[in-house]
Amino acid sequence: MQEQKQTEREIKQIIDTCDRLIQAEKFDELVGYYSEDAVLVVKPGMQAKGREQIKQAFIKIAAYFVNSIKPLEGKMVYLVAGSTVLVLAQTFLEANDTAVKNSEFSVERRATYVFSKIEDRWLCTIDNSYGTTLLEQ
Amino acid sequence: MQEQKQTEREIKQIIDTCDRLIQAEKFDELVGYYSEDAVLVVKPGMQAKGREQIKQAFIKIAAYFVNSIKPLEGKMVYLVAGSTVLVLAQTFLEANDTAVKNSEFSVERRATYVFSKIEDRWLCTIDNSYGTTLLEQ
């Protein structure tokens, strides 16, 4: 149980760090928290694979939102199985929406992230902020 | 892309096999498809950890449903990151419901399963048939 709490703390810290790096648009540093063969669901039906593609995807996402992205995590559930963790997270994405005349908006999502312990470091292997809504496509 | 399809096929086959083993109540054989430190979400707030606990949980679940369980998978989405795969699955659980006088019922869920390649075999490390609804607790 101690170990579970420790793992949860470590992963929460990484997610918070990544959220700050996304907001600061420090994408080189950001992708260091992803595994080499990580998958990011950019939008339903579109995936970025590996650090370089993930970096390029974040650059495009930031541009689309006129560099106003601010991800925030709400409630989180951690399912810990040794060196693999599934995180379920309520996520709020705040940004200016270019499509509706730069008005502020906030999107609530239920994300699923997988983290794997690789060479003694927790890295994000699967980043799917759309959760099970991908089944609706 | 070939490799992705191959992985999806392998994992689909394992899930189908496990569904059959659950229906046939062959739980010793079933838990061989789980990793040693796998986690099964028995119900919100209750987890079984490791093969022995998972086996005991399945025995209790089968008894609760008067040995009438029949899991079926609907639409599935596979997010493949090297030796880690997140499966999003529409799941239908058919059974007699003891609580409502043995009437048949079917529950639709959106499950999240994590599979990891361990010693060249795909094993289920996280089995969460409740998906992101765990965030509602």
pLDDT in tens, A50-83: 999 999 999 998 888 777 777 788 899 999 999 9
Question: Could you tell me if A50 and B93 are in contact, meaning their C-beta atoms sit under 8 angstroms apart?
Answer: no
Smallest Cα distance from A17 to chain B, Å: 22
Please state the ipTM of this predicted complex.
Answer: 0.90
In sign, the C-alpha dihedral spanning A30, A32, A34, A36 is positive
pLDDT, mean of residues B62-82: 86
Question: Which chain A residues touch B36 with a CB distance below 8 Å?
Answer: 82
The reply to whether A84 falls in a domain is yes
pLDDT at A100 over 80: no
Residue with tokens 């939102």: A65
- In this prediction, residue A33 has a pLDDT band, given cuts at 50, 70 and 90, of very high
The reply to whether A137 falls in a domain is no
The reply to whether A26 falls in a domain is yes
**CATH number for the domain including A102?**
3.10.450.50
B125–A90 CB contact, under 8 Å:
no
B88–A35 CB contact, under 8 Å:
no
Question: Which chain B residues touch A126 with a CB distance below 8 Å?
Answer: 79, 81, 84, 86
The reply to whether B135 falls in a domain is no
Report pLDDT digits (tens) over B9-43: 999 999 999 999 999 999 999 999 999 999 999 99
Rounded CA-CA distance B52/A1 in Å is 18
Question: Could you tell me if B84 and A114 are in contact, meaning their C-beta atoms sit under 8 angstroms apart?
Answer: yes
Domains in chain A, number: 1
Q: Helices H, strands E: what count in chain A?
A: 3, 6
Instruction: Give the domain extent around B76.
Output: 2-130
Question: CA dihedral defined by B105, B44, B127, A12, rounded to 10 degrees?
Answer: 150
Those residues whose C-beta lies under 8 Å from the C-beta of residue A26, and which sit 6 or more positions away, are: none
- What is the pLDDT, as a whole number, of residue B103? 54
